[in-house]
Each structure stands twice: as structure tokens, then as C-alpha cells.
Amino acid sequence: MNLETAKRAAGEAAAELVQDGMRVGLGTGTTARWFVTALGHRIAAGLRVSGVATSYATQRLAQEADVPLHDLTAQGLDLAVDGADQVDPKGNLIKGGGGALVREKIVAASATRFVVVIDSTKLVPALGGRLPIELLGFGVERTLAALERTGGRFFLRETPEGEVERSENGNLLADGVYPQIEDVDALAAQLDATPGVVDHGMFLGMASLVLVGHEDGTVEEINAAGRTVDAGG
């Protein structure tokens, strides 16, 4: 499968949703990268927007693409576009494989419309497997023990040098490994209620639209209810 063609198609389709004068959240990851690049091309052609980056990597990419960047203010955003690690039939997501989940969730929640861009391999019948999470360093062993009572096996991330990996916020990054998650709302509530958890990678009921790129360059549109509404090239 030509995943880059699929990712590019989804990212470029999302860029076409941006209107003049919008405040836009810029996601992190391999598919969101195509969105930022395509947005830069539209800006070069005269589109006026302001962007909010969810990571340093996206900030650098936006600067290279000449996308104007600003801080996230109380005014919020008109549109946010980001990728996902998994998308279930109801449009629920797991995100954060790149470690930017907290900023990604803040940006997504700040937008009037949150659009997710993925290739078709990210569609799953049910969420499960790897679930990223950001933790405070204080009492982390106790926090991990509490998290394992939710049914997952948790591991702190390590850098290639063997050091504990931290987010751009300075917190620890970990991953929980779950079987198929039967009740996503219940698990999210348990994680939210665990002291020491900064946030987790479950984005439930947040996506307005999912753009699914396919290897032939077509893009499938799935609305928030999980129903396919359109497909195009």
C-alpha cells in the first residue's frame, strides 16, 4: 500500500476546508504534515490565516511553509486538523503516538470544528492496543500501579539512549497496552480520575469530520456519526 499517497490526499483535502481569515490548529504527525504543507501552498496563493502549532516539529514545518503562527488565545480556533493512531466506527480516536497528545487535545477542544486526517490503515473496528498517556513525574510508580488497575499494562517510554522520555511540557510519557476496549467512556473516566495523569490519548466525541485517504488518491469523508457522506479524488 502506498501510504504516503493516502496521507497526502487526506492532508490536502483538509487544507481545502480552510477559509480566508481562519484561526487554524496545526496537528502533529505524518499525515498532518501534508496538511501544513498544502496550507502553505494556499497561503502563497493569497490565503490569509493564522496557525497554532501542537508541537515544536509542527512549528518548524509551519515556519518552513510560511504559515503565520500565533499563541492560542481565549478566542479559540475556527478549525483544527490533526492525525490519529486509531479511529473507530463512531469517530472516537486514540492519538499521541508522537507524544504531543496534551497540546493536541487542547487545540482540538479549542476549535469550532476538529477534522481528523488519516490513511485507511488507521480505521479499526474498536479502539485498543497502545494508549499514550502523559504523567507527572512525582509519584509516578504509584500512578502507574493505579493505572494498571484499569486493565492495561503500562510502561514508561524511553529514548534511544535509554533515558526516560518526556513531553514538550516536561512531563513523563508512557503507554498503556489494552485488549479491545469495550467501554471507551468508562475507561476515559477512570484515566481522568487517576491522580498524576496529565492527560491521555483517548479523544472521544471530538471529531467533526474524518478524512480517510486511500492509496489511489481518493478521500473518503466520514461524519461525526461514523457514516460515509462522500468520496472524491
* 175-224 residue pLDDT tens: 999 999 999 999 999 999 999 999 999 999 999 999 999 999 999 999 86
pTM of the model: 0.93
- Specify whether 141 is located in the same domain as 220: no
Claim to verify: residue 115 and residue 224 sit in the same structural domain: yes
Same-domain pairing of 83 and 192: no
DSSP single-letter state for residue 136: -
Looking at the structure, do residues 177 and 151 belong to the same domain, yes or no? Answer: yes
* 25 and 94 inside one domain: yes
Note whether 189 and 115 are same-domain residues.
no
Active-site residue, selected from the candidate residues 16, 64, 104, 168? 104
* Structure confidence at residue 223 (pLDDT): 85
- Cα–Cα distance measured from residue 210 to residue 219, given in angstroms and rounded to the nearest whole number: 10
Annotated active-site residue 104? The verdict is yes
Mean pLDDT of 155-171: 96
In this structure, the answer to whether residues 114 and 226 fall within a common structural domain is yes
Residue 1: what pLDDT? 60
Do 107 and 30 fall within a single domain?
yes
Lowest mean pLDDT among 1-10, 38-47, 136-145, 170-179: 1-10
Among residues 69, 71, 77, 82, which one has the least CA distance to residue 111? 77
Mean pLDDT across 5-10: 97
Task: With a cut of 80, say whether residue 226 has pLDDT above it.
Answer: no
Q: State the chain's mean pLDDT as an integer.
A: 95
**Total tally of structural domains belonging to the chain:** 2
Residue 123 and residue 114: Cα distance in Å, rounded? 17
What was the pLDDT predicted at 2? 79
pLDDT of 12 strictly over 90:
yes
Contact 171, 198 (CB under 8 A): yes
Q: Are residues 74 and 145 in the same domain?
A: no
Question: 92 and 67 share a domain?
Answer: yes
In this structure, are residues 61 and 116 in contact, taking their beta carbons and an 8 Å threshold? no
Looking at the fold, whether 165 and 222 belong to one and the same domain comes out as: no
Q: Which domain holds residue 168?
A: 129-198
174 pairs with which residues across the strands?
Answer: 133, 156
Rg from Cα positions in the chain: 17
Residues 78 and 29 occupy one common structural domain: yes
